[in-house]
Structure 1
């Protein structure tokens, strides 16, 4: 039952206290580590860049694994407390909702500012509908990255699974781009992130099914633009009945997304999160009986 207790307290921490201080956040440490390698490695050739990027990524992953094993060397009470802290650092439920809620702004320039904090695309020339779309897309995609996937790997592999997933996802967010600087240096991290998100992205879609099974399946079948990230976006588009579009990449049909649709998307988000928390909770109870 120890894993269940760690899970429950990590969820309570997230929903009440939110994120740990930046300087003490393992995700920040992973980001700074890969940032160090990125800054000091001078690009040479595709092959060497790939090897260097792979080495840097594996080093960060090894640090995540070592950090996940640290509680086992501490007294029992401290082991438990640190495990709760580290698991909490691997997912972000409350802060994701807060960041998306901040984009609900009547002033379009204010909205652009807050949308720019949660998406990588250029937002300076986006109109209102595409700003609304970008906020909803980010929310849908991050249900997988920030909630479903880390807890999925915690359920299977314990704390090591959750922290290693968070490290890989951080690597992808920082160097997993298809541009000249990162095409080869970040290729290993990007492909590993795709692999780790393959099952969680589809679990996320399944969590949308109770709201409108037929339409979710219909939109899921249309989600062939990306390996993983477009799947929950398609499901959110189906439930809200709005078009969601990243120009030149994907588009799911519907009515024009309005500011109030961000609020509706957040309500769907909380329902999906509650489903997933309930599933993990029950799974941990069942698992505890087999372990005993």
Structure 2
């Protein structure tokens, strides 16, 4: 019941208040630590860069673990207050909605700017349909990364699981690029993120099944482009009936995505979030998973 209380208060914080200020946000701490270490390593050779990148990932993960264990050494009510704060920092429901909602606009310039805040690709050359697609893709992928996966690991391993997952996901977002600077330095972080997201990405697809059934499964069979990230995108494409495409990497069939489809995607998002929250609460009530209490 203590773990359930921590989750409920963290959830209420997220829905009512949104994200903590940047300077005191755990994810920002992970990012700053990774960025600090990244800047101080001069690239040398593939093997050395890989080992250095693995060491950076290990340092950030150990920091996340140490942070998650702090509540266990505090007395009531500080232990619960810190546990709520740290758990809230591991997932982001409201802020994801807010960022994607800003892309619903008829002004192509404003849309391009808003979409650039939720995707890593260059939006300057994208037409309106591909901007709509990029927004919906980001929502679908981050539903897994920012909601399903951290709470999945919270169910399995308690607060340490949620924070370590979030640290690894942050490392991948910062270092997991296929370019000259990060090809080897970020490889360990990228592969570790792939491993941790393997089950949650497929669990996310299962959560779509009550709303899309056979069509979701048909699109899932087409998701062979990437290990994890295209799986939730395939399910969203199936449910909306629109094509979603990252040119040169993947494309799921359907009609052309329109501005209103982003709003439809957000409604789907809230259905999936509500379903997942219900499952998490039920699992905590039943004590199915060995969560660590604060």
Q: TM-score, normalised by structure 1?
A: 0.98
**CA separation in 2, counterparts of 1:95 and 1:14?**
8
Aligned to 2:232: 232
Q: Could you tell me which residue of structure 2 aligns to residue 279 of structure 1?
A: 279
Structure-2 change in CA distance of 1:234 and 1:288 (3 Å): closer
Task: Give CA deviations for 1:240-266 in whole Å, capped at 9, x if unaligned.
Answer: 000000000000000000000000000
Cα distance in 2 for residues equivalent to 1:206 and 1:289: 19
| Distance change (3 Å), C-alpha of 1:289 and 1:234 | closer
* Shift in Å, 1:288: 7.3
Unaligned runs of 5+ in 1: none
Matched, 1:127 2:127: yes
SS of structure 2 residue aligned to 1:269 = helix
RMSD of aligned residue pairs (Cα, Å): 1.3
Moved over 6 A (4+): 288-292
Q: Which residue is equivalent to 2:111?
A: 111
Aligned to 1:41: 41
Structure 1 residue 212, shift from structure 2 partner: 1.5
Residue of structure 1 equivalent to 2:13: 13
Could you tell me whether the CA contact under 8 Å between 2:155 and 2:289 is conserved in 1?
A: no
Task: Give the aligned length.
Answer: 292
Provide the TM-score with structure 2 as the length reference. 0.98
Q: 2:215–2:239: 8 Å Cα contact kept in structure 1?
A: yes
Query: In the TM superposition, what are the counterparts of 1:242-281 in structure 2 within 5 Å?
Result: 242-281=242-281
Task: Indicate the residue corresponding to 2:182 in structure 1.
Answer: 182
For 2:279 and 2:107, locate their aligned partners in 1 and report how far apart those are by CA, in whole Å.
39
1:77 corresponding residue in structure 2: 77
Unaligned runs of 5+ in 2: none
Alignment correspondent of 1:87: 87
2:172 aligns with 172
CA distance in structure 2 between the partners assigned to 1:44 and 1:116 by the alignment:
32
Tell me the equivalent position of 2:55.
55
